[in-house]
Structure 1
Amino acid sequence: MFSERLMRARKAAGMSMNALGIAIGVSANAIKKYEHGEAMPSSGKLYKLAKTLGVRSEYFFRPTKVALGHVEYRKRSNTPQKTLDRINGDVLDQAELWTELLDLFPDSVRPISKFTLPNNLPETVDSEEAIESIAEQMRKEWQLGLNPIPDMIDCLESRGIMVICTDVNVGNKFDGLAGQINESPVIVVSTTQPGDRQRFTLAHELGHLVLHGRLPDTIDEEKACNHFAGAFLLPLIAIKQHLGTYRQALEPRELFMLKQEFGISMMGILVRAGQANVISSSLQKQYYMKFNKLKWRTREPGTAYPQETTFLYKQLVYRALAEDYITESKAAEFLKMPLSAFHKERKLGMADAITN
């Protein structure tokens, strides 16, 4: 187990065997032997390994082991394997902590419901209209109405989908992925992206969970999931209510205001306006050209839409502490923070308030 975790942590840190060996004062061959289970480092070298790789020493001996399967990456075509290794390592590390945390709770008080798709979803989704319909059906089943979804991460977590936010800084090489952790669905999203892009990624990956196995070979699943994401975030009825049934021109400010309301990019709204036939295809192309000229396709104007994050994991750590399932030391380990910093956070500044 140590050897496998060392290899994963090294790849997650983006380090070669040689670079890691230099950092801790051993040869690359020694690192190779560690990773192949042919040798074990001394306690001093173990400490240096943990410090260099940015993990706690306990990480190497953590009992929980998970497997990430059925992975669908939302990445750029030129994303190097080294980048994917870093993401994969971080995801597995977080997933192991998630699994270990959930296993603390008795089945009778399981804090996360089991994810299930509605029973009455169509077996085949073979057109754009069918994609719109299944997105509307999912919103109806989840009782979301036509209003903006205020928090996509909470929306997914409350229905039994594990959401992992990865801090691995890979520029624009990666947006997210969908997969399974021990047969439970998981969606991973990058914290380096603006909020509207995060939300689209989350909805796109939900699309994979909903549409997989329902599309004919003639429909590209990635494109279908993009369509599903737009329809899930901004339904046709809602966009027609806000923009009207047919327009011969749009103001950029309208798109910006809708972006702030629904959490979908201005470009995404243009796409939805075309799909809803609110604007003609020729007018849509004119706006695409305008966006290109203004470089809005790379960076849209105004303040970026706020990012989302998961609070559920941290809440469950404190719940486990309150129920005496774990100690303070274990809680700090779950949150990857020094015990002294955890003590300070746990007090909520109460000691300072009493002193003052």
Structure 2
Amino acid sequence: MLGNRIQRARKAQGFSLRNLADLVALSHAAIKKYEDNLVVPSSDILLKLAKALKVKVEYFFRPERFTLENLQYRKHADMPEKQLEEIKARMLDQIERRVELENLFPSSPIQKFAVGEKKIKSYNDIDNIANQVRKQWNLGLDPLLDLIDIFEEHGIKVFEIDNQEYPGFDGLSASINNMPIIVIGNRWPGDRQRFTLTHELAHLVLYGFMHPDLDEEKCCNRFAGAFLLPKEALISILGQHRNYIEPRELSLLKQEFGISMLSILHRIEDAEIISNALYFQLRKEFNEKGWAQSEPGPQYPKEKTHIFEQMVFHALAEEYIGESKAAELMNMPLESFRNLRAMECQDVAHH
């Protein structure tokens, strides 16, 4: 309903009732009545609300079709509830536009996400599950490039949130109408984004299958490391047993597999290539040198995805939509979209 749309747009901007009321020169009680569907705002008021909330008027009339289920957050304990509500509201807007776009095609260009049943009795079982998913997706043991596109191709929709606004946010997973989604921060280094992506994938894959004695977050971290850097690949590079690991070796593996040096060190211990004592010795070295906070060497490139934009231009080329609808889906002004279409600008913020 209209009131729900107004409330969601307000939360997406992080406005209180009073903040929004001040922007449109109304009382907060009037805004509350609109949101509670007690009063229908006039067309003039809707225009003011749309401008203040940075949406098009059409936004208010989209049907409410989605609710979030099975929400799992990563590193959210220190985030205010208000910020989590903002993220959820912004995410729902992205999801609506994405689903609307996919529904334009005669058949969906994205396959459905599916994982088989499994039993997880110990942490060591997690490696096997990660290998099974790699096998199911025909990924082999090689480093995984363009991780977001891999997820998208296998039915998991990935969205990004500007985590400069939300420094406490790493990622979340959820489902909407049995459609799995993952949200990550778009400003973290690539290795952190990739670990978050695979950690959230673990929530989707392992949900409901873990033995009650196992810690869910520990299981998800183990899965993330195993999915990004399989034990077999690790042993083939480092050998079956090592008495010491040079930090430079970890740095080279980081650049190859897109996983942090510290996470690789943990993987090496999981794979029993090094002893527990050596693991803690190397962890101590990391802490003493400040590498636990900022790792040496170049950062791994951030994850990028072009699937949404490619689908918009595909729909435009096939005349499923016109320019105005394409600009609305890309969440950008029509003139900016026309410049993008004419190849007069290459990198325009959208979504």
For 1:147-170, what per-residue CA distance to the aligned partner results, in whole angstroms no more than 9, with x for missing partners?
100111111111111111122544
TM-score (norm 2): 0.93
Q: Which amino acid aligns with 2:213?
A: T
Residues 164, 310 of structure 1: 8 Å contact kept: no
Q: Which amino acid aligns with 1:239?
A: L
Residues 17, 28 of structure 2: 8 Å contact kept: yes
1:192 is displaced (CA, Å) by 2.5
1:343 is displaced (CA, Å) by 0.9
The reply on whether 1:177 has 2:172 as its aligned counterpart is yes
1:289 is displaced (CA, Å) by 2.0
The reply on whether 1:62 has 2:57 as its aligned counterpart is no
Match of 1:111 in 2: 109
Q: How does 1:7-86 map to 2 (within 5 A)?
A: 7-63=7-63, 65-86=65-86
Q: How does 1:120-139 map to 2 (within 5 A)?
A: 121=117, 123-139=118-134
Q: Secondary structure at the match of 2:191?
A: helix
Match of 1:280 in 2: 275
2:287 and 2:24 mapped to 1: Cα distance?
48
Match of 1:152 in 2: 147
2:224 and 2:18 mapped to 1: Cα distance?
43
The reply on whether 1:99 has 2:94 as its aligned counterpart is no
Question: Which residue of 303, 309, 323 maps to 2:298?
Answer: 303
Match of 2:348 in 1: none
1:177 is displaced (CA, Å) by 1.2
Q: Secondary structure at the match of 2:170?
A: strand
Residues 86, 168 of structure 1: 8 Å contact kept: no
Q: Which amino acid aligns with 1:11?
A: K
Instruction: Go from structure 1 to structure 2 and tell me whether the alpha carbon gap of 1:55 and 1:28 turns closer, same or farther (over 3 Å shift).
Output: same
Q: Secondary structure at the match of 1:139?
A: helix
Residues 90, 168 of structure 1: 8 Å contact kept: no
1:17 and 1:251 mapped to 2: Cα distance?
56
Q: Secondary structure at the match of 1:72?
A: strand
Q: Secondary structure at the match of 1:174?
A: coil
Segments of 4+ moved more than 4 angstroms: none
Question: Which residue of 205, 229, 233 maps to 1:234?
Answer: 229
Instruction: Go from structure 1 to structure 2 and tell me whether the alpha carbon gap of 1:201 and 1:24 turns closer, same or farther (over 3 Å shift).
Output: same
Aligned residues: 345
Instruction: Go from structure 1 to structure 2 and tell me whether the alpha carbon gap of 1:171 and 1:88 turns closer, same or farther (over 3 Å shift).
Output: closer
Instruction: Go from structure 1 to structure 2 and tell me whether the alpha carbon gap of 1:44 and 1:169 turns closer, same or farther (over 3 Å shift).
Output: farther
TM-score (norm 1): 0.92
Residues 327, 333 of structure 2: 8 Å contact kept: yes
Question: Percent same amino acid at aligned positions?
Answer: 49
The reply on whether 1:260 has 2:258 as its aligned counterpart is no
Q: Which amino acid aligns with 2:114?
A: T
Instruction: Go from structure 1 to structure 2 and tell me whether the alpha carbon gap of 1:169 and 1:85 turns closer, same or farther (over 3 Å shift).
Output: farther
Long gaps (5+) in structure 2: 346-351
The reply on whether 1:2 has 2:5 as its aligned counterpart is no
Residues 136, 232 of structure 1: 8 Å contact kept: yes
